[in-house]
Amino acid sequence: MRAAADAGFPAVEIWDWRDKPLAALGRALRDTGTRLETLCVEDWRNKCQLAEPAEHAEFVRRVSETAAVAVELGCPKLVVLAGDISASVALETQLAAAGEALARASDAIADLPVELLVEVVNRQFEGPNALLQDSESALALLRRLDRPNVRFLYDRYHAILNGEPLGWAVAGNMPLVGHIQVADIPGRHEFGAGTHDWAAELGWLLQAGYAGFVGIEAMPVGASAGLYAGAQAVLRRVSDGH
DSSP labels, the chain: -HHHHHHT-SEEEEEE-TTS-HHHHHHHHHHHT-EEEEEESS-GGG---TT-GGGHHHHHHHHHHHHHHHHHHT--EEEE---B--TTS-HHHHHHHHHHHHHHHHHHTTTSS-EEEEE---TTTT-TTBSS-SHHHHHHHHHHH--TTEEEEEEHHHHHHTTPPTTTTTTT-GGGEEEEEE-BTTTTB-TTSS---HHHHHHHHHHTT--S-EEE----SS-TTHHHHHHHHHHHHHHTT-
Provide the pLDDT for residue 8. Answer: 86
Average pLDDT over residues 83-102: 96
> Is the per-residue pLDDT at 162 higher than 90?
yes
Q: For a pLDDT cut of 90, what percent of the chain falls above it?
A: 76
pLDDT of residue 173: 96
Q: What is the pLDDT of residue 3?
A: 87
> For residue 83, what pLDDT is reported?
95
With beta carbons less than 8 A apart as the criterion, state whether 69 and 39 touch: yes
What is the structure's pLDDT at 142?
98
pLDDT at 127 over 70: no
pLDDT score at 148:
98
CATH code, 168: 3.20.20.150
- pLDDT tens for 215-235 read 999 888 877 777 888 888 888
Question: Tell me: the pLDDT tens digits for 36-91?
Answer: 999 999 998 899 999 999 999 999 999 999 999 999 999 999 999 999 999 899 99
Mean pLDDT within 16-24:
95
Mean pLDDT of the chain: 93
Count of structural domains, the chain: 1
Q: Between these two residues, 128 and 32, which has the higher pLDDT value? A: 32
- pLDDT above 80 for 209: yes
C-alpha–C-alpha distance, residues 220 and 215, integer Å? 14
pLDDT at res. 77: 99
Residues marked active site are found at: 119, 217
Tell me which residue range forms the domain holding 54: 2-239
pLDDT in tens, 168-208: 999 999 999 999 999 998 888 888 888 899 999 999 999 99
